[in-house]
Amino acid sequence: MTLGASALLPAANAMAATGCAVTYTTNSWSGGFTASVTVKNLGDPISNWTLGFTFPHSGQRVVQGWSATYDQSGSAVTARSLSYNGSLATGASTTIGFNGSWTTSNPNPTSFTLNGTVCTGSTTPTTAPPTTPPTTPPTTPPTTPPVTTPPPGGQTPVAINGKLRVCGANLCNQYGKPIQLRGMSSHGFHWFPQCYKDQALDAIATDWNSDLFRISMYVQEEGYETDPAGFTARVNELVEKTTARGMYALVDFHTLTPGDPMYNLERAKTFFAAVSARHAAKDNVIYEITNEPNGVSWSTIKNYAEQVIPIIRANDPDAVVVVGTRAWSSLGVSEGGNATEVINNPVNASNVMYAFHFYAASHKDNYRAELERAAARLPMFVTEFGTVAYTGDGAADLASSTQWLDLLDRLKISYANWTFSDKAETSAALRPGTCNGTQFTGTSVLTESGTFMRNRIRTPDNFPTS
């Protein structure tokens, strides 16, 4: 049932007939929701459009949208068409969507405007008509979490949590519950191949009880660019070994210098096409598409992300993807910026998270404050951090590290610690020489940072299952 304003009202002027109908449907869970909004043009053809609506409650927010550019000011939201879906013939419709968050309740907005005209069509949920597919396909909206299904057999993090998805500003498990993954990052695996032998991965999984393992593949610095096929094969092998041990695999395209991710765009497309094809059927692979952009604008990073994500989505439509942020993944802080540029202009894709990195001896209260502020609006993932200075070396600052990890635990922000390696630098968890042997469990092989991190990571996860 849709009614057009133009059919009912006298034309305001002789220039163009206007009119529209909107259907707005949501799938809501505690604190979060996914909205699907179908816009139907009942007036003369238009070549671009702006949809406006107001949330009934002040706690409702757009977190991450697709198929339109979203802005929110107070409770007022606008969604502007993109190049591929701006043209709407008379009677044509298009569907856009977003992930949102809410506090007290989550009623649907009741009034919509299209290019300033109030849409008098129904807002009753209906089956959305087929629309032109967006260039970045939205993922399947989350289903209502099952409440009675028991956890599947097995106690590994992946067996319990299954396929992950972004829900509001959180990472949620297969039960739709926010979770935090805690684990370790490799160093550049090409420099420390001995550190990722089977006994080492066994220790990460069963002695450290890591939920995830970050596979850091440098792109420059003797990395991927020197042997794309060989490095891709090595990543695939480490993903398989991580999967066999029931951990989530975070595939890190470890760009660092140059800081402009566009320098590696074609390499990234080639690499992620291959890796996502190989692992599309798995539930445990998370893609980190650029490690630490620096010296570039957020819009450049966003542009890169919006070219790489569709490559992954073509093979694996709903894998979680983590996008690096400006200034070495500091949300811009290390170059005098802040998270507002991302909040106001998020990546146009679903199931996307944003990376935040810190080094506890260098980055303190102002970085913590900005992460906490951002995490209320953006799904954040600490894909790399150190207990030491940003050089990867110097004294461990365990007081600052404790403050950081307490914050991440409280906000349920997932993290990976740099590094599970035996490099002679204080960020390394293993004492130099450890990787020559086969003994990786216990504390005798650990540095100060390693001992601290193992104590933090191996405590029970208590993942929610209902």
Q: Tell me, by CB under 6 A, how many residues bind ligand IDC.
A: 15
425 lies in the binding site for ligand IDC (CB under 6 A): yes
| Strand partners of residue 354 | 323, 380
Q: Is 292 among the catalytic positions?
A: yes
> Would you put residue 402 in left (φ > 0), alpha (ψ -120 to 50) or beta?
alpha
How far CA 373 is from CA of 145, 172, 292, 376, 379, in Å, comes to 28, 20, 20, 6, 11
Residue with Cβ nearer ligand IDC (17 or 217):
217
Choose between 341 and 384: whose C-beta lies nearer to ligand IDC. Answer: 384
Residue 221 as a binder of ligand IDC (CB under 6 A): the answer is yes
- Asked if residue 384 binds ligand IDC (CB under 6 A), the reply is yes
Report the residue from 3, 159, 256, 262 that binds ligand IDC according to the rule CB under 6 A: 256
96 three-class SS? strand
Q: Is 291 in the site for ligand IDC (CB under 6 A)?
A: yes
356 binds ligand IDC (CB under 6 A): no
Measured distance CA(205)–CA(365) in Å, rounded:
32
Residues 33, 111, 377: CA angle, nearest 5 degrees: 35
**CB crowding 266-281: b at 16 or more within 10 Å, else e:** ebbebbbbbbbebbee
Tokens at 243, concatenated: 């999967």
Stretch that binds ligand IDC, among 19-27, 143-151, 171-179, 417-425 (CB under 6 A): 417-425
Q: Where are the beta strands (DSSP E) in 102-140?
A: 112-114, 117-118
Amino acid occupying residue 235: V
The verdict on 415 binding ligand IDC (CB under 6 A) reads no
Indicate whether 385 belongs to the interface with ligand IDC (CB under 6 A): no
Q: Which of 292, 341, 370, 425 is catalytic?
A: 292
Q: Residue 366 CB, nearest distance to ligand IDC (Å)?
A: 17
Structure tokens at 378: 């953006």
Among the listed residues 288, 370, 384, 425, the single catalytic one is 384
Confirm or reject binding of residue 325 to ligand IDC (CB under 6 A). Answer: no
Is 341 assigned a catalytic role?
A: no
Q: How many CB atoms lie within 10 A of CB 148?
A: 5
User: Among residues 273, 281, 204, which one has the least CA distance to residue 238?
Assistant: 204
C-alpha span between 405 and 411 (Å, rounded): 10
Q: Which residue lies nearest ligand IDC, judged by its C-beta?
A: 392
Stretch that binds ligand IDC, among 23-31, 71-79, 383-391, 429-437 (CB under 6 A): 383-391
The reply to whether omega before 258 is within 30° of 0 (cis) is yes
| Residue from 328, 354, 381, 452 in contact with ligand IDC (CB under 6 A) | 328
Which of residues 94 and 427 has its CB atom nearest to ligand IDC in the complex? 427
Q: Is 297 helix (H, G, I), strand (E, B) or coil?
A: coil
Q: Does 359 bind ligand IDC (CB under 6 A)?
A: yes
Q: Which residues bind ligand IDC (CB under 6 A)?
A: 221, 256, 291-292, 328, 357, 359, 384, 390-392, 418, 423, 425, 427
Q: Which positions are catalytic?
A: 292, 384
